[in-house]
Structure 1
Amino acid sequence: MKYNHLFENGRIGNLVLKNRIVMPAMGTNLAGPNGEITDHQIAYYEERARGGTGLIIVEFTSIEYELGKGTMNQLRIDEGRFIPGIHRLANAVHKYDAKIFVQLHHAGRESNSQLTGGKQIVAPSPVTCAAVGEEPRELTTAEVKDLVNKFVMGAFRCKISGIDGVELHGAHGYLINQFLSPNTNVRTDEYGGSFENRMRFLEEIVVGIKEKCGEDYPVTVRLSVDEFDEGGQDVKLSKEISRYLEKIGVDGLHASAGNYNSMDKIIESMLFEQGWRVYLAEEIKKEVNIPVITVGVIREPEFAENILSKGRADFIALGRGHIADPEWAKKTLEGREKEIRKCICCLHCTRSLAHVQCSVNVRAGRELEFNEIKPIGEKRNVAVVGGGPGGMEAARVLSLKGYDVTIFEKDNKLGGQLNLVTSPIPKEKMNWMIDYHRNEMERLHVDVRLNTEASVEMIKSLEPYAVFLATGAKPIIPDIEGNDLTNVCDYEDVLLERKAFRNKRIAVIGSGMVCYSVTRQLAAMGNNVTLVDIPTTTGEKVSAPTRLMLLNRLKKANVEIFEGQKVAKILANSIIVEDELSALQLELEVDHVVLSMGTEAYNPLEESYRKHFHNVYVIGDANNPGSITNAIKDGFEKAFVIESLVLKKDAVEELVETI
C-alpha cells in the first residue's frame, strides 16, 4: 500500500518535517539523578530517529525542579548547565534528518510532597487532585509571573541547545491545564475568573517565548481536549481555547485527553479500540487552521494513513508504538508492515519504577546494553520446544544471529497462552503479537513443526548446540476441598470449548484478565454467572482503573460479584464462600465451578533432557509464569547471550574435571 499522506512533508510554523509521523513525549526515567541527559537516553531517542520518525518530542522536561517535578529523576532544562546534554541529544537526532522538540512541563498539583522534599505542592488554586490526595498551596501572583519566565527561559535554553521547537504541556492535569480548567482555577486575581484570565498564564508563556526566541521558533501546545473529569475541560471549552491559541501565535495543537483522575484515558489499556481518541483532534481541527496532532492507540499504518487522508488530523503521534518498535516509520515506508512489532497496550511500560521497559521490545531503554546482534559465523542448530511468545522470541533472536532454529509445537498453531484471549478488542491486540512472531518465523526461515511433541530422538537428530525449553504454563488448581469433583474445571476448558456451558449456574473463582474474560464469555452464553474475585498473582498485574472497568462491564452483563470472600469448600451442587473479615459463610447453588487462579510453570522435560543434551535452558512461562513480559524478556536475553552461557558452563565443567 502507498502512504501518500503519511510520508508527505509536514509543516509546523516554518519548520518542515519529512513526514507526518510524530513520537510524542513519554517519560523514560532514563535521565540522571540530577535530571541530566544520559548516554542511555540519547541512545533511546537516537534509535527512534534512525527508525524514520519525522518529529521526536522529548519527554516532559522540568522548568522548575523544586516544586514542579513529575517524577523522581525527571529531565531538566531549568538551568544553563543542562544545555550541553540537550545539545548532544539534538545532534544525535538531527543526524537522521529528524526534527526534535522538547516538552516543557510543571506538574502543579499533580506532583507530591515526596518529590518536593516535603514541601507543600503548588497549584493555581488549593483544589486537591483526588488521585494525589494532597491539598496544594495557591501560587501567589508574583510566583505565577516567575513561572511564566521559567517556561520562557526553558524554551530559550532549548533553542540555544539546537532544539527545533518546544511543546508546552497543557494537558493531563498538569500546571498549565490547571490554569485553563474552571475546575482547578478559582483564582480571583488576573490569572483566574473569566476565560481570558484563565488563558493569561499560557498566553504570557507563548508571547514570551516568541519574543525571546523569535516569531519563527515553533511553539505547540498539548491539550486535554476532554479531561473526562466532572467540571473539568471538555470539548466545547477546548474548541474556544484552541481558537484563542491560534490567535496568539501557537503553531500547532496536540489533542490528548484525561488527567490523573482519569488516568485510563491518558494511557489506555487493551480494552480501548484503535484510534478511539482521534475524534478529539477532529473536533479541534474544525476550529483552527494550524496543524493538529492526533494520538491514542494508533498502531497500524493503514489506519494512520486513513486518518490523514480523511483530513481528521495533520500529524499522527505514535506513543507506545515507538517504544514497541522504533522502526515503525521505516518499516512502513519500505512496505514491511508485517515486520512491525505493535504495542499491545499491556501497560507494562507504565509499571516500571526503574526506566522505560516494554513487554514486546526488550531493548527499549536498554539500547546500549543490547547494541548489536552479532552473527556467529558458523553453522549451529538450536531446538526450541514450545511455540509461545517466549519460544518464538528466542527463535527470532537466534535466527538473526545465524543459528538454524527448529521449533517443536505440540498444538496446531503458534502463540501458546495468547490464543486463549477471547474478548474481541484484547484478542485483536494478542493477534498482533502472534502475527508478528509468526511472520518473523517465516521471514527468518525458522523450521516450525506444528502438531509435534519433541521426543529426545527428534532433538538428537539435530545435533543441537543448545535446547530451549519453552513448554509454557498450566492452570493453577488451588488447594480447596472439592477441587477434584466432576463439576470443577479450569479456564482452558471454557476457552478451548472442551465443555459446553449453556443456561447453567456457574461460579468462576479467581481474578485477572483471563479470569474476567472467561466470566464475561460464560455470561454471554446465557449462563447465570457468579464471580468470586480472589486476589491472584495475575490479578495483581491488572491496573486498578482497568480492573474497575472490567468489573463494571461484568456487572452490566448481570454477573454477581463477590469480593473480600474466600471459597471454603466446593460441593457437588454448590460452593461455600466465607467472608474474610467476619468468617460468615454462605452457600451458593451452582452447576459448575470454573477455576481461573492464574498459571504455574509447566516443565516436564528438563530433567530427562539434561541427561541427553549438554546445554538446556528453560525460558518463558516454564521458568517464570504469568506474563508476556517475562516470557519475551527471558527468550530474548537467553538467546542474545547464549554463547556466553555455553562458554561459562563449559569452563565450570572443565574446572570440575581438573579438580
Structure 2
Amino acid sequence: MPTMKYPHLFEQGKIGSLTLKNRVVMPGMGTNFSGHDGQITDQQITYYEERAKGGTGLIITEFTSVDYEYGRAGFNQLRIDEERFVPGIHRLANAVQKYGAKLFVQLQHSGRETYSMVLGGGRQIVAPSAVTCAAIGEEPRALTTEEVKEIINKFVMAALRCKNAGVDGVELHGAHGYLINQFLSPNTNLRTDEYGGSFYNRMKFVEEIVVGIKQVCGADFPISVRLSVDEFEEGGMMIPLSQEVARRLEMVGVDAIHASCGNYNSMNTMVETMQYEQGWRVYLAEEIKKVVNIPVITVGVIREPQFAESILAEGRADFIAMGRTHIADPEWAKKALEGRDDEIRKCIVCLYCTTKSQGHVKCSVNVRAGRELEFREFKKIEGKKHVAIVGGGPGGMEAARVLSLKGYQVTIFEKDNKLGGQLNLVTAPIPKEKMNWIIQYLSNEMKRLNVDVRLNTVASIEAIKALNPYAVLLATGAKPIIADIEGNTLPIVCDYEDVYLKRKHFAGNKIVVVGSGMVCYSVTSQLEKQGNEVTLVEIPTETGSKVTAPTKAMLHNRLTTAGVKIIEDHMVSAVRPDGMLMTNVAGEQIELEADHVVFSMGTESFNPLEESYRNHFDNVFVIGDAINPGSITHAMRDGFEKAYVLEDIAINKVATAELVES
C-alpha cells in the first residue's frame, strides 16, 4: 500500500471545477517533436504518455501556436490554429487521461520573441509596439488594432478546439516575454489605442482572451495563466505590478496563476543554470498567493519530494510544477508516492535538454527521454551471463544499471575508493550538490540491483578471467589535457586534478590558469579563494564551447569581482620556469610571472587496457570518456546504448570475425 510520506504532495487539488489527483504538475517545455507542419507525432504522444503513466497529476503541453503565420516561436512547434490539428490533440488527451492525469494545452503567440526567418515569406515579426528585443535583434512591426482583435479571436478559437479535442483546460502563456507578456509590460506596450497606455488598457488583451474563452467553452472550462512575476528587467514586470495583474485575472475568471519569471533578455532566469539553488523562484509564487484566492503554481529547480512537500505544507504555493525534473525521471511522482526517493533520477541542471542541437529534447541523465519509442523495454536475456566493467564513473554505472535490468550479472572494478569518476572533481557548492545527485542515484541503483562493486581494485586480467565474462566494458574515463607547448613538463605545470585532489599546495602564490569551461571557472574560483593571485588566460576549448553566453558572462563577472584577472584573445606560447609566454593578436609576446601554471582545458581519452584485453577476451567494448571524452551526456548515453544492445553487437562482432577468417 502506498506510503503517505508526502501527504500534501499527493492530496487532491482543484483548478476551477477540475479535480487533480495530486499536486504534481509537468509544465510546458518545448520538445521539437512535432512534425514539420506542427502536427502531433507518435513520439510526442509517447513522451507525454510516459509522464502521465509515471503518476503526474497535471500535464501542460509545450507551447502551442495559435497563429502559425505570425506567432510561431520555431520550427516543429505544436499548433492548434486550424481544425485539422484537433484529432492529434485528441489522441494526446486520450493517451494522458487513461492514467488519471489531466491535460492542459498551453496556448502561445511569440510576438517579438521570434525571427522573420522562422516566420518565412518575408514576414516582419510583430509586437504591441515597435520595441526591439535585444536578445532577438529584429525590430518588430506594431500590430494594428484590428490585428490585435484577430489574435484575441485566434486564442479563443484555439481554446475551443482544445475543448472539442477532449482537453481538460488551457494555459495562456503570458510569461517569458511572449505576446501576452508584451501587452502587460510597460517596457513593451507603448500603444495609444484601447490596448495600451493605462494599466487597465494593457490588461485588456489578456482579459478579452479569458472572457472570450469562457463564453465559448463555458464558465467551468479551466484556464490558467503563466506569468513572469518578475522579468528581471528594469521597467518591466515586477512583483507589485504582477500582483495587480493577478488580481484582475482572478476577477475576470482565471482559475489558476502559474508563477514564472524572466524573458529572452533575462534567459538565465527562465532556464536556470547549475548555479541556481533548488526552489529559488518559490518566493514569486508566495507573493502572488498573498493577493489571490485561486490556486498558485510554483516552479523552478524543484527536484526533491521532501522539498516540494515543504512548499505545500508551509502554504507557499498550491501546486508544484517541475519541468526538467520530469524529463530526467518520468516516474518522479510514482516513486515519491511509494517512498522510493533513492530511485529518483534528479535533473542536474546541465541544460543539455535546452540545446536541441540534434533535433529534439534529450537528457544527459535519462537517455530514454525523447527516445521512448526506440527503447520501449529492457528485454531479458536467456541464461546466465556475466559482464565485467572497468571503471565506476557515470558511463560504467549506467551500463551496469541497464545490464542488470536485462538480467546480466555485473561486476564493476574501480581503482578509486568511491564511485563517480570525474564527477567527484566538482567542488563549487551548488553544482557539486547537483553532481552528487547523479552519483547518489547511480550508486543506489548499484546496491538495489545487486551489482558487485569492487572499490580500490585494479582490474587485472586474472581477476576478470575468474568471472568467465561474456563481455568486458572498458569505462576507464579520461585524463586532463595539457597543452602541447614548450615547457609543458616543467615542475610549475599542473592540471585541474592537482587542484581538486590537493596533490600540491596552492596558497599565497601567483597562478595562471589556462583553459575555459565550467571546470576551468571552478578551478579558478577555488584558487582565488585559497588566497592566490590568479590570472585566467581563457582560450577556446571544446568544454568552453558548451557554456552558454549568459552563464559565461555571469561567471566572468563573479571572477573579476573576486579579483581574478581575465585575459582573452591570446595564444599560449610556452611555459618557463618562472611563468608563461603568450602571444597577442598583433603577434607580440607577453610574459606572465607565475609560481604555477594550471591547465584546465578539458580531457582526452584514457584507454590503456583495450589492446591487451582483446588478446584475452572475445567481447571487449570501450565506452564513455575512454572513447570520446567531454561530458556526462556522452558517457551516460554510450553506457546505456552499449548495454541495451550488447547481445546484438557481440553477435555482430563474432559474425564479422568469422567472415574475415573465411
TM-score (norm 2): 0.99
Instruction: Name the counterpart of 2:259.
Output: 255
Tell whether 2:631 aligns with 1:627: yes
Instruction: Name the counterpart of 1:388.
Output: 393
Match of 1:362 among 331, 351, 367: 367
Match of 1:170 among 147, 171, 174: 174
Match of 1:3 among 6, 10, 30: 6
Instruction: Name the counterpart of 1:456.
Output: 461
After superposition, what is the alpha-carbon deviation per residue over 1:507-529, rounded to whole angstroms, capped at 9, x for unaligned? 00001111110100000001111
Cα distance between partner residues in 2 of 1:113 and 1:609: 56
Cα distance between partner residues in 2 of 1:566 and 1:655: 50
Q: 1:243-322 maps to which residues of 2 (within 5 A)?
A: 243-322=247-326
Match of 1:484 among 489, 493, 510: 489
Cα distance between partner residues in 2 of 1:30 and 1:77: 15
After superposition, what is the alpha-carbon deviation per residue over 1:275-306, rounded to whole angstroms, capped at 9, x for unaligned? 00000000000010000000000000000000
Moved more, 451-460 or 565-574: 565-574
Counterpart of 1:59 in 2: which secondary structure?
coil
Instruction: Name the counterpart of 1:77.
Output: 80
Instruction: Name the counterpart of 1:518.
Output: 523
Instruction: Name the counterpart of 1:610.
Output: 614
1:119 to partner: Cα distance: 1.0
Tell whether 2:97 aligns with 1:97: no
Instruction: Name the counterpart of 1:209.
Output: 213
Instruction: Name the counterpart of 2:546.
Output: 541
Cα distance between partner residues in 2 of 1:468 and 1:569: 38
Cα distance between partner residues in 1 of 2:619 and 2:116: 51
Counterpart of 1:383 in 2: which secondary structure?
strand
After superposition, what is the alpha-carbon deviation per residue over 1:567-616, rounded to whole angstroms, capped at 9, x for unaligned? 2221111212221x222332221111101010000000001111111111
- Confirm or deny: 8 A CA contact 1:387 1:408 kept in the other structure: yes
Match of 2:425 among 409, 420, 424: 420
- Confirm or deny: 8 A CA contact 1:505 1:591 kept in the other structure: yes
1:499 to partner: Cα distance: 0.6
Cα distance between partner residues in 2 of 1:224 and 1:333: 30
Match of 1:599 among 600, 603, 608: 603
Tell whether 2:124 aligns with 1:120: yes
- Letter aligned with residue 21 of structure 1: V
Cα distance between partner residues in 1 of 2:579 and 2:42: 61
Q: 1:18-37 maps to which residues of 2 (within 5 A)?
A: 18-37=21-40
1:646 to partner: Cα distance: 1.1
Tell whether 2:141 aligns with 1:151: no
Q: 1:457-472 maps to which residues of 2 (within 5 A)?
A: 457-472=462-477
After superposition, what is the alpha-carbon deviation per residue over 1:176-229, rounded to whole angstroms, capped at 9, x for unaligned? 000000000000100000000000000000000000000000000000000011
Match of 1:42 among 33, 37, 45: 45
Instruction: Name the counterpart of 1:138.
Output: 142
Q: 1:330-345 maps to which residues of 2 (within 5 A)?
A: 330-345=334-349
Cα distance between partner residues in 2 of 1:626 and 1:5: 41
Cα distance between partner residues in 2 of 1:352 and 1:112: 17
Counterpart of 2:573 in 1: which secondary structure?
strand
- Letter aligned with residue 235 of structure 2: G
Cα distance between partner residues in 1 of 2:186 and 2:32: 32
Cα distance between partner residues in 2 of 1:559 and 1:480: 24
Match of 1:399 among 401, 404, 410: 404
1:656 to partner: Cα distance: 2.7
Cα distance between partner residues in 2 of 1:376 and 1:575: 57
Please identify runs of 4+ aligned residues in structure 1 that moved more than 4 A.
none
Counterpart of 2:153 in 1: which secondary structure?
helix
After superposition, what is the alpha-carbon deviation per residue over 1:446-472, rounded to whole angstroms, capped at 9, x for unaligned? 000001110111111111111100000
- Letter aligned with residue 466 of structure 1: A
Instruction: Name the counterpart of 1:57.
Output: 60
1:122 to partner: Cα distance: 0.4
Q: 1:178-197 maps to which residues of 2 (within 5 A)?
A: 178-197=182-201
Cα distance between partner residues in 1 of 2:295 and 2:189: 28
Cα distance between partner residues in 2 of 1:649 and 1:536: 35
After superposition, what is the alpha-carbon deviation per residue over 1:304-362, rounded to whole angstroms, capped at 9, x for unaligned? 00000000000000100000000000000001000000000000001123011000000
Gapped runs of 5+ residues in structure 2?
Answer: none
Cα distance between partner residues in 2 of 1:409 and 1:153: 60
Cα distance between partner residues in 2 of 1:588 and 1:33: 54
Question: What is the CA RMSD across the aligned residues, in angstroms?
Answer: 0.7
Aligned residues with identical type, % of pairs = 71
Counterpart of 1:67 in 2: which secondary structure?
coil
Cα distance between partner residues in 1 of 2:149 and 2:395: 54
- Confirm or deny: 8 A CA contact 1:395 1:446 kept in the other structure: yes
Instruction: Name the counterpart of 1:642.
Output: 646
Counterpart of 2:118 in 1: which secondary structure?
coil
- Confirm or deny: 8 A CA contact 1:141 1:189 kept in the other structure: yes
Match of 1:507 among 509, 512, 532: 512
Cα distance between partner residues in 1 of 2:634 and 2:346: 18
- Letter aligned with residue 573 of structure 1: D
Tell whether 2:442 aligns with 1:440: no
Counterpart of 2:400 in 1: which secondary structure?
helix
Cα distance between partner residues in 1 of 2:61 and 2:91: 13
- Letter aligned with residue 405 of structure 1: V
- Letter aligned with residue 83 of structure 1: V
Match of 1:576 among 558, 581, 594: 581
Cα distance between partner residues in 2 of 1:477 and 1:83: 57
Cα distance between partner residues in 2 of 1:574 and 1:465: 52
- Letter aligned with residue 184 of structure 1: T
Instruction: Name the counterpart of 2:593.
Output: 589
Instruction: Name the counterpart of 2:413.
Output: 408
Instruction: Name the counterpart of 1:235.
Output: 239
Moved more, 219-228 or 347-356: 347-356
Instruction: Name the counterpart of 1:226.
Output: 230
Tell whether 2:659 aligns with 1:655: yes
1:565 to partner: Cα distance: 1.3
TM-score (norm 1): 0.99
- Confirm or deny: 8 A CA contact 1:179 1:201 kept in the other structure: yes
Counterpart of 2:434 in 1: which secondary structure?
helix
Instruction: Name the counterpart of 2:332.
Output: 328
Tell whether 2:435 aligns with 1:430: yes
1:377 to partner: Cα distance: 2.9
**When the two structures are aligned, how many residues end up with a matched partner?**
657
Cα distance between partner residues in 1 of 2:513 and 2:660: 52
- Confirm or deny: 8 A CA contact 1:474 1:600 kept in the other structure: yes
Cα distance between partner residues in 2 of 1:616 and 1:70: 46
- Confirm or deny: 8 A CA contact 1:67 1:111 kept in the other structure: no
